[in-house]
A and B are shown apart, each in its own frame.
Chain A
Amino acid sequence: MKRLMIYLLLIIAALFFLLPLYVMLATSCKTMPEIYSQGILALPSHWNFDAWQHAWSAATIGAGSQGIHPFFFNSFELVIPAVIISTAIGAINGYILTHWRFRGANLVFYLLLLGTVFPFQIILLPMAWVQGKLHIAGTLIPGLVMVHVIYGLAFTTLFFRNYYVSIPHDLVRAAQVDGAGFFRIFWRIILPLSTPIIMVTAIWQFTMIWNNFLFGVVFTNSDQQPVTVAINDLVDTVTSVHMWNVDMAAALIAAAPTLLVYVLAGKYFVRGLTNGAIKG
């Protein structure tokens, strides 16, 4: 009886969490007349992918009718360098903070810790000004990449720091006795032990940057925008008939990469969420 209650509650919760995804999928595969007549819960009478095609290559976003695809690729152009750079610097930083202790290391730690909590609104205006002075205002590369690298560093550094703390310092000391230097120790000893934390950090950064809206909407213009901003433009566009099926297809396209990563490597994503949160 008690077991039954537990599973019943879990199933109800699962339905609540899955409902929006189901409705989005079903809506995206119907025609608008079918949505009007059958409602949003019914399965499509036949699976129709016109809305997906329209969302991908024809929907009106901003000034043009090019569909979502250029913005989808923009997001990749943004995410790939931003993730690689912020993760690499975070790894070196974490290594230094744990195995090259120096006076003030704790201060640096708190300096960065606060860097993970403040609301980004407080830096938007100066950053916009600086980007203007550097003549990179409104650009995806390097403008938006730079913003994401800078404000991702506090997270990546703390991820690696919290992980490298558990690598015994004797390993580093022994290597030093053998004559290994700063880079050699990192390359030969630290890095080979780092696969899990690189996965956690890279997946975390990928998800955060891909899903980010605020920096995209503030720091990029028109054809440089990432996919999240384009989705919002699409849905906001006032047309005579609101094409909900196209909106849903576009939203699913925008959600697909991070969902795919989640399904393939959810373990690391969860670890990032809980580690970053609890140990940080």
Chain B
Amino acid sequence: MVQQHKKSFQRRDQIIAGLMLSPTILAAIFFIYAFILWTIWLSLTRSTILPSNHFIGLANYRDLFGSSRWWRSLSNLGVFGGLYVLISMTIGLVLAILIDQKVRGERLWQMVFLYPMAISAVVTGVAWRWLLDPSYGLQAIIRSLGFSHFHFAWIDDPDLAIYTVVIAAVWQTSGFMMAIFLAGLRGVSADVIKAARIDGAGTVRLYTRVILPSISSTFFVAFILSAGLAIKAFGLIIALTGGGPGYSTNVPTIFMYVFSFERGEMGVGAASALIMLLVMMIVVLPFVLLDARRRA
């Protein structure tokens, strides 16, 4: 009797649990997955300032890929994303290895390297816009040291401005990469390191042959995270260059915003958003599949 009583209570609680979770599930299904389908639909319609259900097939995609501004946005994402991922991961790894050498004031170093992560991308953009200003920033500083022909005006140069975005983004998130790598390094078992030491491995060999190969999954995580940050970068570039000069530092996030909310070409904006999602999927999917296999 008592047993049965308990059972029915548990069943009641199970139902409560389901009821409590269902709003989140429904919200996720509606606000994420249905919205994705909705955006796909918009990208196939003649939606301009207002959404329309007038189906026009792939015309928006033809417009999108016929636009030199979109191609510039994509190639900028490639250049910026590639360099940013490479440089921030490298700096992050080097800093993590340095901190891992039992240095004094470990917490303080970490605080200094990681604080830009706590600052908004817009503030970062504003700060670097000032530092990179040719009249007053780094160019002026180095010229005032006597190098009067020193030239560093990337931010005003349509061909070079995208590299200033790399600098600011690397500054903001290298510490994040450091934290990821440091967590990975700290996960390597002390026995493995001790065994390698006994075999006579020096510090360099210890890292290249033993430690780094054993944290390959950390590299993977760092890659996914930094690539994701690159694809999503928006406020930083808006505040740093405004997407310019001209549209020389436009990336897909800016293109999508401008076409959807400023130029009233919602269909093209939706199409660009979908391409962004596909790019993200290509980056993330191998990771999700690998993770699913590990869990299974």
Interface residues of A (CB under 8 A from B): 3, 6-7, 9-10, 13-14, 16-21, 23-24, 27, 35-36, 39-41, 89, 92-93, 96-97, 100, 102, 108, 110-115, 117-129, 150-151, 153-154, 157, 176-177, 179, 181-183, 207, 210-214, 217-218, 228-229, 231-232, 235-236, 244, 247-248, 251-252, 254-255, 258-259, 261-263, 266, 269-270, 273-274, 277-278
Q: A244-B130, A255-B120, A278-B180 are in contact. List 5 more A-B contacts (CB 8 A).
A: A23-B131, A89-B23, A211-B120, A217-B257, A277-B221
Which chain A positions have C-beta within 8 A of B292?
110
Minimum-distance CB pairs A-B, first 7: A213-B235, A211-B120, A100-B17, A262-B118, A121-B273, A182-B13, A126-B35
Q: Do B128 and A20 touch across chains, with their CB atoms under 8 A apart?
A: yes
Bitwise, B3-21 to A at CB < 8 A (1) or not (0) is 0001001101110111011
Q: Can you report 15 A-B residue pairs in the complex whose CB atoms are below 8 A from each other? A: A13-B91, A13-B113, A16-B171, A17-B116, A100-B17, A100-B18, A117-B280, A124-B256, A125-B266, A183-B16, A247-B126, A248-B127, A251-B123, A261-B118, A274-B183
Supposing A124-B260, A218-B257, A232-B239 touch, asked if A270 and B110 sit within 8 A by C-beta, the answer is yes
B95 at interface by CB-CB < 8 Å: yes
B64 in the interface, Cβ–Cβ < 8 Å?
Answer: no
With the chains together, A13 CA to B87 CA distance in Å? 14
Asked whether any CB of chain A lies closer than 8 Å to the CB of B76, the reply is no
Interface bin, chain B: 35 or more
Contact in complex: B232, A120 (CB < 8 Å): yes
- Asked whether B276 is an interface residue with its Cβ less than 8 Å from the other chain, the reply is yes
Q: Judge whether A270 and B112 touch: CB under 8 Å.
A: no
Q: Is A35 a contact of B31 with CB atoms below 8 Å?
A: no
Smallest CB–CB gap between A280 and chain B, Å?
9
Q: Is B27 an interface residue (CB 8 A)?
A: yes
- Pick the contact of A251: B16, B25, B126, B137 (CB < 8 A): B126
Q: Which of A3, A177, A213 contacts B6 (CB 8 A)?
A: A177
B225 on the A face (CB < 8 A): yes
- Given A119-B253, A127-B35, do A176 and B6 touch, yes or no (CB 8 Å)? yes
- Residues from chain A with a CB closer than 8 A to the CB of B28 are 111-112, 115, 153-154
Partner of B21, one of A108, A176, A218: A108
- Given A18-B112, A117-B284, are A176 and B118 also a contact pair (CB < 8 Å)? no
Out of A6, A89, A121, A229, name the residue touching B103 (CB < 8 Å). Answer: A6
Q: What separation, in Å, do the CA atoms of A210 and B235 have in the docked complex?
A: 13
Q: Which of B14, B25, B103, B276 contacts A119 (CB 8 A)?
A: B276
Residues of A within 8 A of B280 (CB): 117-119
Q: Which residues of B contact A151 (CB under 8 A)?
A: 31
CB–CB B20/A96 < 8 A: yes
Rounded to whole angstroms, the CA-CA distance of A145 and B262 in the bound complex is 23
Which of B130, B231, B277: most chain A Cβ within 10 A?
B130
Distance of A177 Cα from B9 Cα, bound (Å): 10
The distance in angstroms between the C-alpha atoms of A92 and B6, with both chains bound, is 23
Residues of B contacting A269 in the complex (Cβ-Cβ under 8 angstroms): 114, 117-118
CA A163 – CA B257 in complex, angstroms?
36
A277 and B129 contacting across the interface, CB-CB below 8 Å = no
Q: Please, how many angstroms separate the alpha-carbon atoms of A153 and B23 in the complex?
A: 11
**B14 touching A40 by the CB < 8 A rule?**
no
Q: Contacts A115-B32, A232-B239, A247-B130 given: A153-B27 contact, CB under 8 Å? A: yes
Is there contact, CB below 8 Å, between B121 and A213? yes
Which one, A126, A231, A278, contacts B239 given CB within 8 A? A231
Q: Does B242 contact A (CB under 8 A)?
A: yes
Q: Is the CB of A17 within 8 A of B175?
A: yes
Contacts A13-B113, A213-B120: A251 and B232 contacting too (C-beta < 8 A)? no
Cβ of A14 and Cβ of B113 under 8 Å apart?
A: yes
Q: B276–A251 contact, CB under 8 A?
A: no
Residues of B within 8 A of A212 (CB): 120, 235
Separation in Å of the A2 CB from the closest CB of chain B?
8
B4 to nearest A CB, angstroms?
14
Cβ contacts under 8 Å, B75 to chain A: none
Closest-by-CB residue of B relative to A106 is: B295
CB pair A100–B130 under 8 Å, yes or no, is no
In the bound complex, what is the Cα–Cα distance between A150 and B31 (angstroms)?
8
Question: Chain A interface: which of B36-44, B54-62, B146-154, B155-163?
Answer: B36-44
- The answer for the CA separation of A157 and B127 in the assembled complex, in Å, is 34
Provide the residues of chain B in CB contact with A111, threshold 8 Å.
25, 28-29, 33
Chain B residues with CB under 8 Å of A40's CB are 130-131, 136-137, 140-141
Contacts of B276 in A (CB 8 A): 119, 121-122
| Given A17-B175, A153-B28, A177-B6: A255 touches B35 (CB 8 Å cut-off) | no
Whether B126 and A231, one on each chain, are in contact in the complex, defined by CB atoms closer than 8 angstroms, is yes
CB of B95 within 8 A of CB of A13, answer yes
